[in-house]
Amino acid sequence: MTAGRGEGFPPLWHGRRRRQLLGLVATGVGQAVCAVTTALALSALLAAVGDRERLMTTVVLLVAAVGVGVLRAQEKVRAEQLSQDYVRELRRGLLGSALTTRRGPGLGITVARTTNDLSAVRNWVALGITPLAVGVPTILGATVALAVLDPLLAVAVAAPMLVLGAVLAALAGPAFRRSRELRRRRGRLATAVSETVTAARTIRAAGGERRELRQLDRFSAAVAEAAVERSRVAGALRGAAALASALALAAVAAVGAWFETSGAAVAGALTIVGLVAGPVSDLGRVVEYRQAFLAARRVLAPVLAEGAAHRAHELRLRRQYGGHPPVTARTRSQDGVVHVGDLVVGGAPVPELVALPGSRILVRSADAGREAETLSVVAGVRHAPGAWVRVSGYVLQELPATQRRLLVGAVASTDVLERGTVARAVRYRDPESTASVPEVLEAVGLTGRVAALDRGERTVLRRGGEPLTVSERMRVLLARAVYGEPALVVLDRVDTRLGQGGGEVIDRLWLEYPGVIVAASDAPDALPGAVTVWDLDDTSAAGNRPVLARPGAGAGTSAPAVRSTGGERRKENA
């Protein structure tokens, strides 16, 4: 019953799954009762001398047969309910981990985990635990019934079952190793397929279709080979179960012939063996499913543990936050001082930053990756050990995500839109806000484009933002970042990816937004107005006085200001 053993795995014996497990055990006990009743009634029928007695035992046989059919049907339903409930919780944990980890697994690995690995878990719960919960009581009950009929018949059936148990234990190790190898090769194939589909346009442009197909054929051949190797062990397991059932039948017949057991007792014993043949056959697959599950759990457990740790951290933040004043509209921008300190990126300290509401900060470093990592910490997307970011008096690292998102709007050039309507995409960061979506869309120049869609703001965006173009998707993400006017807006190379007219959108945002804007840009000279440069590579400023950014002023305490008339230059060039 310990399908969930392993750090990060939820317990199987929990909540409503307890009732489902108990229902499965009750189903097994019921089938055992039906088997015993069938055996005893059959023996009584063969030994009956009167019509009334024959009629009564016949009715009992029919009722027991119907009971077996109903209980087997219930077994299937309960097993599926149990497995689907468990797999759904695991799937939620896996996707939650993929959403919260800094560098989550690739698309192919994630798909493999949520399909192949979870299928292994589902098979173990539905087809592995169920035969144990149902089959074991049935076999034990049948053995008791045989002992009542004749102890020798019970021994004749029990002996092959014991041999089967020994064979299953011996094949458990090879089954685990081959399941692990198959799982590893399937993951590699899933990754290759995902990366090939993602790069399909590039592959076609370079004429590499046949080359990629040959590579995928090699991965497919490796998966097929591993699957065949595993099937050899699986075949041995199932063959051993079938052999045990056949040996039980032969043993009952031999006992009846050699020890002059009554025909009624032999007939009852043969009936019982027939009834337990199904559960015995299921036991032959238990080891196969168990080892496949263990191979999947070996990989899934650390991922689930990481996600569980993040959820526990969020829960602690929510409990701690209960005593803090809530984030309000007033604290989002007008009182939104931004203070960043004790930040170390790439092994080097970053100068402290203090930004007053309305100030504009340009992040600059010789390493673009260092800029991106700094912006992710400032936006609260990632936590750097020892560092802290204070916005409007709140330390972002101490806020739950539901409150942190009210203070910070962030967008990077690599961001992708989730599935949903245009309106939902804009309001996604602050779904409870009553701010006008059309006004924000107008601010980013999307009013006409959205109105031209079939369903306007209710148009569903799919596959990363279709039917919008790449630049239009970036504008939707920018609208999300500024929706509700958060105190801090973080832009990572967004200004050059807004398409035609994007310069005017940035100019308006840069000059009119009331909060703090921290940005990295591929064209910093084109940014309008005064900016304060936050030089991440200025190690002389680290640990000294902070860089101070004021609205409308380009000079910081320890960093020079850059005054740009890029917007005017764009007009002159036009």
- pLDDT, position 477: 95
Both tokens of 365, joined, read 């470093």
**pLDDT of amino acid 446:** 93
Taking a C-beta distance cutoff of 8 angstroms, is the pair 353, 338 a contact? yes
Of 341, 361, 332, 334, nearest in space to 549 by CA? 361
DSSP for 17-72? HHHHHHHHHHHHHHHHHHHHHHHHHHHHHHH--SHHHHHHHHHHHHHHHHHHHHHH
Residue 416 is encoded by which pair of tokens?
């992708």
Percent of the chain whose pLDDT exceeds 70: 85
Q: Beta strand 528-535 with 360-364: parallel, antiparallel or unpaired?
A: parallel
What value does the mean pLDDT take over residues 396-402? 82
pLDDT tens sequence across 213-235: 898 899 999 999 998 998 898 88
Residue 526 CA to residue 57 CA, distance in Å, equals: 95
Provide mean pLDDT across the span 440-450. 92
pLDDT value, residue 333? 46
Q: How confident is the model at residue 530 (pLDDT cuts 50, 70, 90)?
A: confident
* Integer Rg of the chain from CA: 34
Comparing CA positions, the residue from 322, 305, 302, 327 lying closest to residue 380 is 327
CATH assignment of 16-300, among 3.40.47.10, 3.60.15.10, 1.10.1760.20, 1.20.1560.10: 1.20.1560.10
Q: Is a pLDDT exceeding 70 seen at residue 339?
A: yes
Q: Is 60 exceeded by the pLDDT of residue 524?
A: yes
Write down the pTM of the prediction. 0.65
Residue type (1 letter), 455: R
Closest to 179 measured CA to CA, from 80, 298, 87: 298
Strands, E, within 229-379: which ranges? 338-341, 344-345, 348-349, 353-355, 360-364
Beta carbons within 10 angstroms of residue 294's beta carbon: 18
- The dihedral of CA 484, 485, 490, 492: what is its sign? positive
Residue 153 — very low, low, confident or very high, per pLDDT cuts 50/70/90? confident
- Residue 24 pLDDT > 90, yes or no? no
Domain residue spans of the chain = 16-300, 329-573
Rounded to 5 degrees, what are φ and ψ at 164?
A: -60, -45
pLDDT at 557 over 50: no
CATH for the stretch 329-573: 3.40.50.300
Specify the pLDDT at position 360: 94
Core vs surface per residue 377-402: b (16+ CB within 10 A) or e: bbbbbeebeebbbbbbebebbebbee
**pLDDT in the model for residue 573:** 31
Between 186 and 339, residue with greater pLDDT: 339
